[in-house]
Amino acid sequence: MLEFYTIALRGKTDSVTTTGQTERAIDNTSQDNSSTVNNVLIKQLSSCLNKLHLSAQYTQELLTIHKKLLKDTSNDDVLQHFIEIFDVIVADLQRERNSATNFLTSLNETLAIVQNAVSKTLSTCEKAQHTNDLINIKLQKQLLDMTGSVEKAMSLDQVKVDINSKLASIALTLEKKTIFEQQNQQALSNQLKDMAAKVKKLEEQSQEFEVKLAEQQRKSMFDALTKLSNRAAFDEYFTQSMVRFHHNPFDLALAVIDVDDFKQINDRYGHTVGDKTLQVIANTIRKKVSKDAFVARYGGEEFVLIYSKHKKSELINELNSINKSIAHLPFQFKNNKVSITLSIGATHITSEDNIHTAFERADEAMYKAKEKGKNQVVYF
C-alpha cells in the first residue's frame, strides 16, 4: 500500500506543467497517464482490501472508503483515500492491541492474586503445623508428668487427687487442640475455595482469549468478499491433504477455475460490479459443489477446489455441471445481459506429485481450456 501511495503521489507531482500550448499538451498527457495510473492503483488496491480482515466496525468504514475510491479518480482524491485507509487499519490494529493488552494485564493481576493466595495458604499450613507440634509437646509433657506423679505418690488418696488434677489439665489441652484444628481446617477450606474461585476466573479469561485467537485465525483464512476460504486456507488444507495422500493414497483431485474475460467486466462496468459478480459465482460454486469438496478463492477471479472421493468421470461431470450453472446465471449489467463462463483445469494427484507439481498441472490444464475456446473443462 505504501508503494501504491508513492505512485499516486508521484502522479500528482508529475501533473505540474509549464504555460501556453506546451502546458495544455503536457497537461492532457499527464491527465491520461494519471487516469491510467489511478485505474491500476484502484484495481490493485481493491484486491488488497479484499484480503484485509478487520473488525466489523472498521470493515464497514473500509467498505465506505472503498466505494469512494471507485467513484473518485483525481490524484488528490486517491491520495486522500489512501490516508483514510491507513487511518482505519491503524485504528483497528490499535483496538486489537488494546484488547490484548487489557487481557494480559488482567491475566497478570489474576496470576499475582493466585500466587499470593497459594503463599498465604502455605504460610497458614506452616503456622498451623508449628502450633499443633507445640500442643503435642505440651500433651506429652503432661502425660509424663502424670506418670511421674503416680510413681512418687505415697498414698492412693494422693494419687487420686494428683491424677484428677493432671487429667483435667490434659482434657483442657485436648479441647484447645480440637478447637484449633477445627479453626485451622475452616481457614484452610476458605482459602482453598477463594483460590479455586480465582483459578476459575483465570480459566475463563484464558478461554475468552482462546476464542479471540481462534476468531483471528478464522479471519486470516477467510476471504471477506466471497465468504469462501482464502489462499492461505487452501495452502494449509492442500498441504495436509497431500500428507494424508502420501501416507495412505486415495482419490485426491485438484481443480483450478478462472472466470473468462473478467477484466472486461471490470473495465466496462466497474469494480463494484466485478466484486458482485465474484460473489454470485462463489455462492453458486458453493451450492453446486459436493459436500466433501474444499472451495477457496485463490486470488482475483481464480478459484480452487479440492476433492477427496471423486474418480475422473465423476470429477469432470461435476465440474461441467458447475460451469453450466454459472453460464446460465442471469447476469445483467446496465441493461445488458452478459453470459459469464469458466475455464477449468483439473487433475488427480499421483504418487510422484508434490503440492507444486500438482498445482502447476491443474493450472496448465486451465490455460489449455482457455486456448481451446474457454467455457470448458480440461483434465490432465
Catalytic residue positions, numbered = 301
* C-alpha cell of residue 302: 481464480
Comparing C-alpha atoms, which of 169, 342, 356 is closest to residue 262?
342
The residues near 47 (Cβ < 8 Å, ≥ 6 apart) are 299, 300
Which grid cell is 12?
A: 500528482
Inter-residue contact 342 to 323 (CB < 8 Å): yes
Widest distance between CA atoms in the chain: 142
Place of cell 495422500: 245
Name 238's Cβ contacts closer than 8 Å, sequence gap at least 6: 254, 306, 355, 359
**Phi, psi of 211, deg, nearest 5:** -60, -40
Instruction: Find residue 102's DSSP bridge partners.
Output: none
Strand order of the β-sheet with 342-348 is: 294-299, 302-307, 253-259, 342-348, 376-379
